[in-house]
Structure 1
Amino acid sequence: MPISIVLRSMTGSNMPAFVSPPISTGCSNLPTPKLQRRSEVPRGSQHELTGILLKNGPYPVLRVDDGGEWRLDISGRHHHLLGRRVRVSGIRSEFDMLDVKHIEPV
Protein backbone atom coordinates (compact mmCIF):
# COMPACT_ATOMS: atom_id res chain seq x y z
CA MET A 1 0.00 0.00 0.00
CA PRO A 2 1.58 3.34 -1.01
CA ILE A 3 2.18 5.95 1.66
CA SER A 4 1.61 9.65 1.00
CA ILE A 5 2.68 12.40 3.37
CA VAL A 6 0.84 15.73 3.44
CA LEU A 7 2.13 18.71 5.44
CA ARG A 8 -0.18 21.63 6.19
CA SER A 9 1.00 25.24 6.00
CA MET A 10 1.77 27.12 9.19
CA THR A 11 -0.94 29.72 8.39
CA GLY A 12 -3.61 27.15 9.19
CA SER A 13 -5.00 26.99 5.66
CA ASN A 14 -6.27 23.71 4.32
CA MET A 15 -4.02 23.91 1.28
CA PRO A 16 -1.18 21.39 1.45
CA ALA A 17 2.25 22.99 1.77
CA PHE A 18 3.99 19.91 0.36
CA VAL A 19 2.86 16.54 -0.94
CA SER A 20 5.35 13.73 -1.26
CA PRO A 21 5.07 11.16 -4.03
CA PRO A 22 3.65 7.78 -2.99
CA ILE A 23 6.24 5.56 -1.30
CA SER A 24 6.12 1.80 -1.65
CA THR A 25 7.15 -0.04 1.51
CA GLY A 26 7.77 -3.30 -0.34
CA CYS A 27 6.26 -5.19 2.60
CA SER A 28 2.86 -6.04 1.14
CA ASN A 29 3.65 -9.76 0.87
CA LEU A 30 4.89 -10.19 4.44
CA PRO A 31 2.66 -12.19 6.81
CA THR A 32 0.92 -10.29 9.57
CA PRO A 33 2.49 -11.27 12.91
CA LYS A 34 0.22 -12.89 15.47
CA LEU A 35 0.43 -11.31 18.92
CA GLN A 36 0.43 -13.70 21.84
CA ARG A 37 -1.59 -12.95 24.93
CA ARG A 38 -0.04 -13.72 28.30
CA SER A 39 -2.41 -16.65 28.69
CA GLU A 40 -0.90 -18.23 25.53
CA VAL A 41 2.73 -18.00 26.70
CA PRO A 42 3.93 -21.50 27.66
CA ARG A 43 4.34 -22.24 31.34
CA GLY A 44 5.81 -25.24 33.08
CA SER A 45 9.07 -25.09 31.13
CA GLN A 46 12.43 -25.66 32.80
CA HIS A 47 14.84 -22.70 32.88
CA GLU A 48 18.47 -22.32 33.96
CA LEU A 49 19.45 -18.65 34.26
CA THR A 50 22.41 -16.64 35.51
CA GLY A 51 22.21 -13.07 36.78
CA ILE A 52 22.22 -10.73 39.77
CA LEU A 53 19.85 -11.51 42.65
CA LEU A 54 18.03 -8.36 43.82
CA LYS A 55 15.53 -7.63 46.58
CA ASN A 56 12.14 -6.48 45.28
CA GLY A 57 9.17 -6.68 47.65
CA PRO A 58 7.84 -10.13 48.53
CA TYR A 59 9.73 -11.87 45.69
CA PRO A 60 13.43 -11.47 44.94
CA VAL A 61 14.26 -10.65 41.31
CA LEU A 62 16.90 -12.17 39.07
CA ARG A 63 18.24 -9.60 36.59
CA VAL A 64 19.74 -11.61 33.74
CA ASP A 65 22.58 -10.45 31.51
CA ASP A 66 20.33 -9.25 28.66
CA GLY A 67 18.50 -6.90 31.07
CA GLY A 68 15.39 -9.03 31.57
CA GLU A 69 14.06 -9.72 35.04
CA TRP A 70 12.40 -12.76 36.58
CA ARG A 71 10.54 -12.82 39.89
CA LEU A 72 11.65 -15.80 41.94
CA ASP A 73 9.47 -17.92 44.22
CA ILE A 74 12.14 -19.20 46.61
CA SER A 75 11.48 -21.31 49.67
CA GLY A 76 14.57 -21.37 51.84
CA ARG A 77 17.54 -19.18 52.59
CA HIS A 78 18.63 -16.80 49.88
CA HIS A 79 19.24 -13.46 51.65
CA HIS A 80 23.00 -14.08 51.82
CA LEU A 81 23.00 -14.14 47.98
CA LEU A 82 21.34 -10.73 47.46
CA GLY A 83 23.46 -8.48 45.27
CA ARG A 84 25.55 -11.40 44.01
CA ARG A 85 25.70 -13.27 40.71
CA VAL A 86 23.80 -16.53 41.00
CA ARG A 87 22.73 -19.47 38.87
CA VAL A 88 19.06 -20.40 39.20
CA SER A 89 17.18 -23.43 37.93
CA GLY A 90 13.43 -23.65 38.15
CA ILE A 91 10.06 -24.05 36.48
CA ARG A 92 8.18 -21.15 34.90
CA SER A 93 4.93 -20.72 36.85
CA GLU A 94 3.70 -17.30 35.69
CA PHE A 95 4.53 -14.81 32.94
CA ASP A 96 7.66 -13.55 34.71
CA MET A 97 8.02 -15.95 37.66
CA LEU A 98 10.13 -19.03 38.29
CA ASP A 99 9.52 -21.59 41.03
CA VAL A 100 13.13 -22.04 42.09
CA LYS A 101 14.39 -25.61 42.52
CA HIS A 102 18.07 -24.69 43.01
CA ILE A 103 20.08 -21.50 43.49
CA GLU A 104 23.84 -21.18 43.88
CA PRO A 105 26.50 -18.43 43.70
CA VAL A 106 28.48 -18.21 40.47
Structure 2
Amino acid sequence: MSDKKVIRLRRARRTRLKLRDLEAVRLCVHRSSQHMYAQVISADGAKVLASASTLDSELRAGSTSNIEAAKKVGQLVAERAKAAGVTQVAFDRSGFKYHGRVKALADAAREGGLEF
Protein backbone atom coordinates (compact mmCIF):
# COMPACT_ATOMS: atom_id res chain seq x y z
CA MET A 1 0.00 0.00 0.00
CA SER A 2 1.12 3.53 -0.64
CA ASP A 3 2.02 5.83 2.23
CA LYS A 4 -0.89 8.12 1.37
CA LYS A 5 -3.41 5.30 1.73
CA VAL A 6 -1.83 4.03 4.96
CA ILE A 7 -2.04 7.50 6.48
CA ARG A 8 -5.70 7.86 5.42
CA LEU A 9 -6.60 4.46 6.90
CA ARG A 10 -4.83 5.39 10.14
CA ARG A 11 -6.93 8.58 10.34
CA ALA A 12 -10.06 6.53 9.62
CA ARG A 13 -9.25 4.01 12.36
CA ARG A 14 -8.72 6.79 14.90
CA THR A 15 -12.10 8.34 14.01
CA ARG A 16 -13.93 5.02 14.15
CA LEU A 17 -12.57 4.25 17.60
CA LYS A 18 -13.96 7.56 18.86
CA LEU A 19 -17.31 6.89 17.20
CA ARG A 20 -17.44 3.42 18.75
CA ASP A 21 -17.09 5.01 22.21
CA LEU A 22 -20.00 7.33 21.40
CA GLU A 23 -22.12 4.31 20.37
CA ALA A 24 -23.64 6.35 17.56
CA VAL A 25 -25.16 5.27 14.27
CA ARG A 26 -22.66 6.42 11.65
CA LEU A 27 -22.84 7.68 8.12
CA CYS A 28 -19.74 6.17 6.51
CA VAL A 29 -18.50 7.64 3.23
CA HIS A 30 -16.03 6.20 0.73
CA ARG A 31 -14.67 8.12 -2.24
CA SER A 32 -12.92 6.49 -5.15
CA SER A 33 -11.70 8.17 -8.30
CA GLN A 34 -14.86 7.15 -10.18
CA HIS A 35 -17.62 6.68 -7.57
CA MET A 36 -19.04 7.77 -4.20
CA TYR A 37 -20.46 5.35 -1.64
CA ALA A 38 -22.38 6.07 1.58
CA GLN A 39 -23.69 3.68 4.23
CA VAL A 40 -25.61 4.20 7.45
CA ILE A 41 -24.21 1.61 9.86
CA SER A 42 -25.73 0.58 13.20
CA ALA A 43 -24.09 1.62 16.47
CA ASP A 44 -22.55 -1.81 17.05
CA GLY A 45 -21.24 -1.89 13.47
CA ALA A 46 -22.96 -5.18 12.69
CA LYS A 47 -25.69 -4.03 10.34
CA VAL A 48 -26.03 -1.67 7.36
CA LEU A 49 -29.30 0.21 7.82
CA ALA A 50 -29.23 2.17 4.53
CA SER A 51 -26.86 2.66 1.64
CA ALA A 52 -26.52 4.59 -1.60
CA SER A 53 -23.83 5.00 -4.23
CA THR A 54 -23.29 6.29 -7.71
CA LEU A 55 -23.58 2.66 -8.82
CA ASP A 56 -27.34 2.71 -8.09
CA SER A 57 -29.38 2.54 -11.27
CA GLU A 58 -31.14 5.89 -10.74
CA LEU A 59 -27.80 7.71 -10.18
CA ARG A 60 -25.85 5.91 -12.88
CA ALA A 61 -26.77 8.30 -15.70
CA GLY A 62 -24.25 11.04 -16.35
CA SER A 63 -20.98 11.55 -14.54
CA THR A 64 -20.44 9.61 -11.32
CA SER A 65 -17.28 11.35 -10.11
CA ASN A 66 -18.28 14.97 -9.59
CA ILE A 67 -19.87 17.12 -6.88
CA GLU A 68 -23.35 16.87 -8.40
CA ALA A 69 -23.23 13.06 -8.21
CA ALA A 70 -22.07 13.27 -4.58
CA LYS A 71 -25.03 15.55 -3.74
CA LYS A 72 -27.43 13.02 -5.27
CA VAL A 73 -25.87 10.21 -3.20
CA GLY A 74 -26.23 12.34 -0.05
CA GLN A 75 -29.89 13.02 -0.73
CA LEU A 76 -30.61 9.38 -1.51
CA VAL A 77 -28.87 8.00 1.57
CA ALA A 78 -30.72 10.53 3.77
CA GLU A 79 -34.03 9.48 2.23
CA ARG A 80 -33.30 5.77 2.77
CA ALA A 81 -32.04 6.34 6.33
CA LYS A 82 -35.21 8.23 7.25
CA ALA A 83 -37.26 5.37 5.77
CA ALA A 84 -35.31 3.01 8.06
CA GLY A 85 -36.12 5.23 11.04
CA VAL A 86 -32.72 6.88 11.48
CA THR A 87 -32.39 10.67 11.81
CA GLN A 88 -29.37 11.12 14.11
CA VAL A 89 -25.97 9.96 12.79
CA ALA A 90 -22.27 10.59 13.30
CA PHE A 91 -20.33 11.45 10.15
CA ASP A 92 -17.48 9.06 9.35
CA ARG A 93 -15.47 10.48 6.45
CA SER A 94 -13.12 7.45 6.36
CA GLY A 95 -10.01 9.61 6.65
CA PHE A 96 -10.83 11.69 3.57
CA LYS A 97 -10.51 15.47 3.77
CA TYR A 98 -13.78 17.27 4.45
CA HIS A 99 -14.01 19.21 1.21
CA GLY A 100 -15.10 18.71 -2.37
CA ARG A 101 -17.20 15.61 -2.96
CA VAL A 102 -17.15 14.48 0.70
CA LYS A 103 -18.43 17.90 1.86
CA ALA A 104 -21.08 17.98 -0.88
CA LEU A 105 -22.38 14.56 0.18
CA ALA A 106 -22.51 15.63 3.85
CA ASP A 107 -24.33 18.89 3.09
CA ALA A 108 -26.88 17.10 0.90
CA ALA A 109 -27.50 14.50 3.64
CA ARG A 110 -28.08 17.32 6.15
CA GLU A 111 -30.54 18.98 3.76
CA GLY A 112 -32.24 15.59 3.34
CA GLY A 113 -33.02 15.46 7.06
CA LEU A 114 -30.09 13.69 8.72
CA GLU A 115 -28.67 15.40 11.82
CA PHE A 116 -24.94 15.31 12.53
- What range is the shorter-chain TM-score in? under 0.3
Larger radius of gyration: 1
Structure 1 or 2: larger helix share?
Answer: 2
Higher relative contact order (CA 8 A, sep 6+): 2
Task: Report the TM-score when normalising by structure 2.
Answer: 0.21
Q: TM-score, normalising length from structure 1?
A: 0.22
